[in-house]
Structure 1
Amino acid sequence: MSPLFLLILVTSLLRLLLGSLMGLGIDETYMVAASHHLELSYFDHPPIAWWLTHAAMWVTGSDAPVVARLPFILLFALSTWLMARITTALFHDKQAGFWAALLMNLSPVYGLTAGGWVLPDGPLDCALLGFLWFSLRATAVIPGGGRWGNWLGAGLCAGLAMLSKYNGALVLIGLPLFLVTAPKARVWLMRPQPWIAGLLAVLFFLPVVIWNQQHHWASFAFQGDRAGGLRFQPFAPFGVWAGEALFVLPWIWVPLILLWLRALRRGPSEPRGWLLALFAATPVLLFAVVSIWSSRHILYHWSAPGTLMLFPLLGAEVARRLQAGAPRLRRVILGTVALVLVALALVGTEMRFNWLTAAFGPGILGKGTDVAGGVDWNDLAPQLAARGLLSTPNLVVAVTRWNDAGKVDYALGGRFPVTVLADDTREYGIVAPADHFLGRPMLLLTPDNHQSYILARFAPLFDKLMVLPPVTLRFGGYPFMTLSVLAGTGFRGLSPADVK
């Protein structure tokens, strides 16, 4: 059995195990619940992650966490193979390919979140690696280039990347930059292949454009607003880079950036490094630059598609140093493997059994809400049903935050419409806007336990609104969240002032 095949097998089995131990995170639950509605695209992101989740649930008849995560685990197995294949072809060294693939798996932002969670990042990374592979061959940076099939493959993977997540476009920019700046590749600008490939990518992206046109460009506006606001923060990029380093692992991120800078310095004279550096440049730089003026929070994983493109350089460098004899580097890699395995064991077992609370008492996790994002609210439906609250005809369940909507919707198995009584409704404002349920009875669930405030805020929306005993959710035998419960009749709809 080859080391690469063993790596893919072991890491996939670990992700399956972890996927069965852990409940769905907030974003995962939101995506799983929303994916019951099959759409051309979705409010937050393009549709591939939702389509994959919908397909997995349709084929198996289950929405269990490990089932929803299965397509993403399989895609990352393919991503691991692609990373090894790309690096081996670039540097003619199977060891370099193995080290690039291993280090990618050890980096949490790739090996954990993109590799095993229901998020758009997994499909995006796989599509981008496919795009990189075909681009390298199409431009003859690696042998076998220049054929129509490679250019069409690059266009296909570019389209799949754009159907996965918008920031994939930042990596795709690297190919035209390479064609313009690399003398031997410039000839392709006068040939039809890259232009046809670009047209193919645009055609794949059409569902997203059509959906946005039908929904007042909601998704484009939402994502574009993240660069909004205006303030001057000259040191903000250092915070962004520090966060990115933490997500990748600092001792992996720093060498990636140093190798990127070296490739930029060498320029087009070294086409392999130049192409990889250009593919990485826009994501690595853009979000740090935007942070200088944007008042919005920059999420550290947004630049991850850029640093992903640099792992072949890191794999080659690690292979070169190990072949020259570098015992300290080998110890660092083995220590990272041990650290990641221990961390996964601790997190996986805690999110399954809540042993921290059992060992140290409820105070160890504050008031309990710290774990709520990664715990399925499995006892919500039985508690509500036992009190007869789910038997009301035409019942609608309402929440006050979009991130609670997915948790509630998933816990209730999609049996009731779930709407959000707030200004930030995300996909629920598309599939279940509150004003579609005028006159319907509503069960309002909110983690806010200030009953006087809740009544003052929401009573005007109903003919009658009653406060009922709260529901306490438990995790591993211990309470972790209390939800206020209110029953309303004669819903009157929302005005702009109601959702502030």
Structure 2
Amino acid sequence: MRHQSPSSWAAISICIAALVHFALGFSIEFSVDEAHYALYAKHLAWSYFDHPPLVGWIQWPLISLTSSEGVIRLIPELLWIISVYLVYQVTLEIHRLIQGRNAGYLTTALPSANLCGLMAVLAIIAAPLPHVLAIGLLPDTLLAPLSLGLMLMALRWTRKDSFSLADWIVTGLLLGLAGLSKYTAVFTAFALLLVLLASPKKSWITKSGFWIAVAIALIVISPVLYWNGINDWISFKYQIAHGSGGTWAWRRVAAFMGIQIACFGPLLIWGAFGFLKHCLHGQKRVLIALLSFFAIPFAIFAALSGGGSLPHWTTPAWFCLAPFAGIGLAKAWSMQHRLSIRILVIGQILICLIGFGYVLSGGVNNSGGSSIKSNPIADLYGWKLAGQKAAQLAQVNKVNGIAVQNWTLGSRAAWYAQPLPVFVLDQRQDQFDLWFGQLPVGANVLLINWSGMAFKPPVGGNLAFEECAPLDSMEVIRFGQMLSKFDYSLCRNWQDAGTTR
């Protein structure tokens, strides 16, 4: 590292990681969520059943030109690069804030700002889960850079005597775009409000610029409000039910915390504790308010995890913690903890590389593809050929469309067999009902059954087909091992329109 400056090493590290993402992006098929959000771009709307529309809108230009997964994945790759760059910039701003206002409170001098920025960048690059969002576009991929952008504006507020009209306009746009990305952006808005409240000597609620920012944010998110208003507010109802999960249990909270440590690594945690120990002295109110960009969403998701949650929901929060962790790690580096930091960085990066290799290999399958839990990587292979085969069989047998028995199977089927309609045969309302409607009474369809999530054919009863006859099957083979199997059946005479939903 003596031959390059810390800022140069940060840029080099980002470029190396981006090249790895680029290679992986062209090597694997869409995951269930990627295909689902790519379908958003195919079916442009003001909003959607389960998420706001920006994740679909931003993909529309590329998807209108190509169906290549690798090319479409350039969008999350660019967003990841912007996010890591903003982590570096936010770190410099926090360093400047501490040095400018808190220098008299520091027991020892802070390391250079560029070293702090490098440590923050390495902490993110060495974290396993953010690489997933760098390859596959999720709403959290969008929310991360927007949250960091709002952190930058919050830091600008703390360092300036007053906000200009341009500052308020930018803040309003960032808030609105965050709201178009994911409903949990409201947690980031609360964090920004805390920063405003942490500076009692600065008036803001009486400023016209503040209300202009609020108006801009509301205008930007108005498509979501309009769409929900004409659709019985189904998105909000779904998200409330989805967030609350099932029966609450402490063991789920403990599991959530353990998974978070595994997914984001001890570097970020160690660095954050180092910041709290050595740097949180003068201007505590402002720094704690800035830390709420991490603390508010993480605490809420941890509390909700007792009913069930997904580990990637906290990713924007961890990006917002990285600048503080970078300063804490740089402080530890200057206090001769270099060997420990090197071991953690190298260890976490090795874990990431092992994960990349595991994905490319197709995983380890010990049960012949009988369960997705036995090999979750099998879910990333075979869907393109399976969708093309389904489209051919549907055309030959002249059916009304394709049917699956769980929505997670429908996304890839609808993407790779488009433009055929895909019907999800359950009693749960979802986005597929809005796109393709409910399966008509008497319809004939091609039923796809995947070994990773197998179901018995729905035959007999009030919500079933009169008969389902096997048509064909397809095995997915990678490096000599069978990852999964697709079975196709011709199902005739659907007996119910699904009005009981």
Provide TM-score, normalisation by structure 2: 0.85
SS at 1:166 equivalent: coil
Determine the structure 1 residue equivalent to 2:37: 31
Q: 1:277 aligns with which of 288, 291, 309?
A: 291
Q: Please identify, of 423-432 and 227-236, the stretch whose mean Cα deviation from structure 2 is larger.
A: 227-236
Determine the structure 2 residue equivalent to 1:65: 69
Distance of 1:458 and 1:260 partners within structure 2:
62
Determine the structure 1 residue equivalent to 2:253: 237
Offset of 1:125 from its aligned partner?
0.4
Quick one: structure 1 residues 65 and 278, their matched pair in 2 at CA, closer, same or farther if it must change by over 3 Å?
same
Determine the structure 1 residue equivalent to 2:55: 49
Quick one: structure 1 residues 261 and 91, their matched pair in 2 at CA, closer, same or farther if it must change by over 3 Å?
closer
Determine the structure 1 residue equivalent to 2:226: 210
Determine the structure 2 residue equivalent to 1:471: 473
Determine the structure 1 residue equivalent to 2:396: 391
Q: 2:120 aligns with which of 100, 103, 111?
A: 100
Q: 2:81 aligns with which of 74, 77, 84?
A: 77
SS at 1:454 equivalent: coil
Determine the structure 1 residue equivalent to 2:133: 114
> Does 2:290 match 1:307?
no
Q: 1:169 aligns with which of 186, 189, 192?
A: 186
CA contact (8 A) 1:136 1:145 kept: no
Quick one: structure 1 residues 228 and 330, their matched pair in 2 at CA, closer, same or farther if it must change by over 3 Å?
closer
Give 1:420-499 correspondences, 5 Å limit. 420-435=424-439, 437-447=440-450, 453-457=456-460, 461-462=464-465, 464-476=466-478, 478-495=481-498
Distance of 2:454 and 2:49 partners within structure 1:
32
CA contact (8 A) 2:372 2:452 kept: no
Quick one: structure 1 residues 417 and 382, their matched pair in 2 at CA, closer, same or farther if it must change by over 3 Å?
closer
> Does 2:88 match 1:88?
no
1:127-152 deviations in whole A, cap 9, x for unaligned? 11111112221x1x245862222222
Determine the structure 2 residue equivalent to 1:372: 378
Offset of 1:343 from its aligned partner?
2.0
Determine the structure 1 residue equivalent to 2:272: 256
SS at 2:73 equivalent: helix
Structure 1 letter corresponding to 2:224? V
Offset of 1:260 from its aligned partner?
5.9
Offset of 1:428 from its aligned partner?
0.7
Gaps spanning 5+ residues in structure 2: where?
97-112
Distance of 2:372 and 2:206 partners within structure 1:
63
Distance of 1:327 and 1:479 partners within structure 2:
45
Quick one: structure 1 residues 199 and 259, their matched pair in 2 at CA, closer, same or farther if it must change by over 3 Å?
farther
Quick one: structure 1 residues 364 and 339, their matched pair in 2 at CA, closer, same or farther if it must change by over 3 Å?
farther
> Does 2:142 match 1:123?
yes
Distance of 1:208 and 1:418 partners within structure 2:
25
Offset of 1:19 from its aligned partner?
0.9
Q: Please identify, of 77-86 and 296-305, the stretch whose mean Cα deviation from structure 2 is larger.
A: 296-305
Quick one: structure 1 residues 258 and 470, their matched pair in 2 at CA, closer, same or farther if it must change by over 3 Å?
farther
Gaps spanning 5+ residues in structure 1: where?
none
Q: 1:402 aligns with which of 407, 414, 439?
A: 407
Offset of 1:220 from its aligned partner?
0.7
Offset of 1:202 from its aligned partner?
1.7
Quick one: structure 1 residues 342 and 63, their matched pair in 2 at CA, closer, same or farther if it must change by over 3 Å?
same
Quick one: structure 1 residues 451 and 218, their matched pair in 2 at CA, closer, same or farther if it must change by over 3 Å?
closer
SS at 2:353 equivalent: helix
Q: 1:4 aligns with which of 3, 10, 26?
A: 10
SS at 1:419 equivalent: strand
Distance of 1:323 and 1:378 partners within structure 2:
51
Determine the structure 2 residue equivalent to 1:194: 210
Offset of 1:457 from its aligned partner?
4.6
Offset of 1:156 from its aligned partner?
0.9
Quick one: structure 1 residues 30 and 475, their matched pair in 2 at CA, closer, same or farther if it must change by over 3 Å?
farther
Offset of 1:72 from its aligned partner?
0.8
Determine the structure 2 residue equivalent to 1:160: 177
1:225-248 deviations in whole A, cap 9, x for unaligned? 134478564565333322222221
Distance of 2:242 and 2:321 partners within structure 1:
26
SS at 2:204 equivalent: helix
CA contact (8 A) 1:114 1:125 kept: no
SS at 1:423 equivalent: coil
Distance of 1:450 and 1:178 partners within structure 2:
47
CA contact (8 A) 2:269 2:325 kept: no
Quick one: structure 1 residues 320 and 365, their matched pair in 2 at CA, closer, same or farther if it must change by over 3 Å?
same
Size of the aligned set, in residue pairs, is 478
Distance of 1:451 and 1:333 partners within structure 2:
41
Structure 1 letter corresponding to 2:340? L
Give 1:308-327 correspondences, 5 Å limit. 308-327=319-338
Offset of 1:335 from its aligned partner?
1.4
Q: 1:149 aligns with which of 166, 180, 185?
A: 166
Offset of 1:479 from its aligned partner?
3.2
CA contact (8 A) 1:465 1:486 kept: no
Q: 2:343 aligns with which of 304, 307, 332?
A: 332
Distance of 2:308 and 2:453 partners within structure 1:
28
CA contact (8 A) 2:48 2:431 kept: yes
CA RMSD across the alignment: 3.2
Distance of 2:47 and 2:248 partners within structure 1:
35
> Does 2:191 match 1:183?
no
Quick one: structure 1 residues 316 and 281, their matched pair in 2 at CA, closer, same or farther if it must change by over 3 Å?
same
Distance of 1:289 and 1:195 partners within structure 2:
32
